[in-house]
Amino acid sequence: MRWILLLVFLLAACSKGPQADLPYIGQARSLAAEWALVNEQAVEGKLTGSYVQTMRQSAREQLQTCEKALSQPQSDYAQEITAILKQPDDASPAALRAHARKLKRIEDSLESA
Amino acid sequence: MNPLELTLGIMTAVGGFVDISELVFAAKAGSMFGYALIWAFALGTIGMSVFGEMSGRVAAIAKQPVFNLMRHRLGLKLGLITLIGSLISTLITCAAEVGGMALLLNYLTGLPYLLLAVASVAVLMATMWVLPFKWIERTYGLLGLLMIVFAVAVVAIHPPWAKLAGGFVPQVPSGLSSKELLNYSYFIVAILSAVLFPYESYFYSSGGIEEGWGAKDLLTNRVTCTVGFGLGSLLAISILASSAQLFGPINVGPEIPGTTALEAAIPFGKTGLLLALLGMLFAVAGAAVETCMSNAYAISQFFGWEWGRHAKPWEAPRFTLAWIAVMLLALLIVLTGVDVMSLVEYAVLFSIIVLPLSYLPLMLLANDKSYMREHANKWLAKSLGWLFFIIVTAAAIAAIPLYLLTSGGGG
């Protein structure tokens, strides 16, 4: 049992590069899609002001955390996350969803690699 | 059996069933795997009903709280290890609930998160000081019923009912890659852990002793555990189903706890949003109180101190100091700025590891005719008890490797 756990720890510690960044790419993809959904519902008048503001702030903060955690800061997915962070708070849902879709494509290609 | 008491007991169980971990994992499971993990919630709920009913029956007949049993059945050394493991996992869960409360208040008011964490703890401690046990449990449990908005919302968005019903059948979805299969396995373990949190049975059985349950209360105990927990679980399943319908197809994770409230906002607008946020707030607040008091019960019962909220706070001073210390420690963890989602992950991971050791002594005593007389476990309770013991033991063994291999279900 101890050996299995040690092996698992080693495997987890050894992974680097795009594969190691996969959880952050997935997280960033979801955050962009959540931000888009919030903005879409806000335009329709279905949300309160404080909720919208807090959700946008959370999305931005978590995206920044993802960006900092990446092991490949020059990669195409890192640039995509940076591009999302440059969006204004009330960015159009379509623009945010386009970024989410791009990240999803990168995520899928890395997963199948 | 007083019908009013029974109804209130069931409603309290429904409103008090869901906590921050279930909110997080139900929404994530729905978006990632559609309806395929509904069965994990259903299975966990049956397990919770089995162990909850057993702990309530032991409390009513043998008048034995769980941690007193643990010390006698596992011996001092193993009992102490289980106590420490339970204290750590329940403290982390309590911190996750306090952090969850602050986040939900943040969505409602826009005020700073850390200030709201301090305010939340102050309000929780005031209610725990002032209110007797029954009213602490009922206040939060009944207000948590506002979460019924999630069940109404899932009906309003017209999900594919046949697919949803199919989710109740245990399954492994076809076409999953090996990585997705590991994630799916991690979610099964996490959901079982979130539904079967050990603090729930500590709190429930200690409450039974506080309220002086006897043989006359066994039917109430059984109905509360089966109907109350079953209906409570439907709220978590509603969140999962709405997430499968609304979030999965548009690549939403969800990564922000507040996103779950959108499930009610999309069909019902601002009213739905506010009901969802308030329902989640009271459900999470109730869980914060339960986790805090569970730790105080555990320590007091293990060391044989005077315990309970039937007494004035100063009449059980070490018990009172214990729950104050637990709540302040939970606040301290939140004030370090640790992410609530990470706390939820750790809470679920630690809890599943201590779960088998928490349930074994309870089951052994419930089987013991010298203590339980004619109320000892019959064949059905015995079989279900051992079946779930095997399931939680397997989940406990798999938990850490799965967590590491999947980065906590993230990839």
Percent of chain B's residues with pLDDT above 90:
61
Residue of chain B with shortest Cα separation from A20: B411
pLDDT at A2: 45
> Among A83, A89, A73, which Cα is nearest to A103's?
A83
Intra-chain end-to-end CA distance of chain B, in Å: 51
Find the largest Cα–Cα distance for chain B. Answer: 61
CA distance B20 to chain A (A): 17
pLDDT at residue B384 is higher than 70 = yes
CB contact under 8 A, B400 and A5: yes
Report the alpha-carbon distance of residue B237 to residue B29 in Å, rounded: 10
ipTM of model: 0.88
Proportion of chain B in helix, strand, coil states, percent, rounded to 5 = 85, 0, 15
pLDDT single digits (tens) B126-146: 999 998 877 888 888 888 899
> Among B48, B152, B108, B90, which Cα is nearest to B362's?
B48
pLDDT at residue B285 is higher than 50 = yes
- CATH code linked to domain B3-406: 1.20.1740.10
Please report how the helices B262-303 and B317-335 are oriented relative to each other, as an axis angle in degrees rounded to 10: 140
Query: Domain extents for chain B?
Result: 3-406
Contacts of B105 in chain A (CB under 8 A): none
Report the alpha-carbon distance of residue B142 to residue B282 in Å, rounded: 9
pLDDT at A9: 46
CA distance B365 to chain A (A): 30
Contacts of A59 in chain B (CB under 8 A): 256
Proportion of chain A in helix, strand, coil states, percent, rounded to 5 = 80, 0, 20
In the stretch 313-372 of chain B, residues with CB closer than 8 A to chain A read none
Q: What is the average per-residue pLDDT within B168-181?
A: 91
Pick the range with the lowest mean pLDDT from B22-36, B97-111, B396-410. B396-410
> Among B406, B387, B362, B356, which Cα is nearest to B193's?
B356
Q: What are the helix and strand counts (H, E) for chain B?
A: 17, 0
What is each CA distance from B209 to A113, B133, B171, B282, B288, in whole angstroms? 58, 11, 40, 25, 20
| pLDDT tens-digit profile, chain A (113 residues) | 444 444 444 444 445 678 888 889 999 999 999 999 999 999 999 999 999 999 999 999 999 999 999 998 889 999 999 999 999 999 999 999 999 999 999 998 988 77
pLDDT at residue B1 is higher than 70 = no
Contact assessment for residue B164 and residue A96, using Cβ atoms and an 8 Å cutoff: no
Report the alpha-carbon distance of residue B377 to residue B380 in Å, rounded: 8
CB contact under 8 A, A101 and B251: yes
B305: left (phi over 0), alpha (psi -120 to 50) or beta: beta
Residue of chain A with shortest Cα separation from B277: A51
Instruction: Count Cβ atoms below 10 Å from residue B65 Cβ, excluding itself.
Output: 24
Interface test with B, best of A5, A9, A30 (most B CBs within 10 A): A30
Mean pLDDT over all residues of chain B? 90
Pick the range with the lowest mean pLDDT from B84-98, B133-147, B186-200. B133-147
pLDDT at B70: 75
Entry pTM: 0.92
Of B109, B270, B410, the CB nearest to A46: B270
Interface test with A, best of B32, B255, B404, B405 (most A CBs within 10 A): B255
Q: And the tokens for B29?
A: 């499971």
What is each CA distance from B110 to A53, A58, A88, B103, in whole angstroms? 8, 12, 19, 9
What is each CA distance from B185 to A7, B172, B191, in whole angstroms? 19, 9, 10
Of B247, B250, B262, the CB nearest to A41: B262
How many degrees, rounded to 5, is the angle at CA B300 between CA B338 and CA B365?
A: 105
Interface test with A, best of B24, B103, B256, B270 (most A CBs within 10 A): B256
pLDDT at B296: 94
DSSP per-residue codes, A77-105:
HHHHHHHHHTS-TT--HHHHHHHHHHHHH
Residue B170, preceding peptide bond in cis (omega within 30° of 0): no
pLDDT at B27: 95
Would you state the torsion angle of the CA atoms of residues A50, A51, A52, A55, taken in this order, to the nearest 10 degrees?
Answer: 120
Pick the range with the lowest mean pLDDT from A75-89, B58-72, B111-125, B248-262. B58-72
Contact assessment for residue A68 and residue A19, using Cβ atoms and an 8 Å cutoff: no
Q: And the tokens for A40?
A: 């879409």
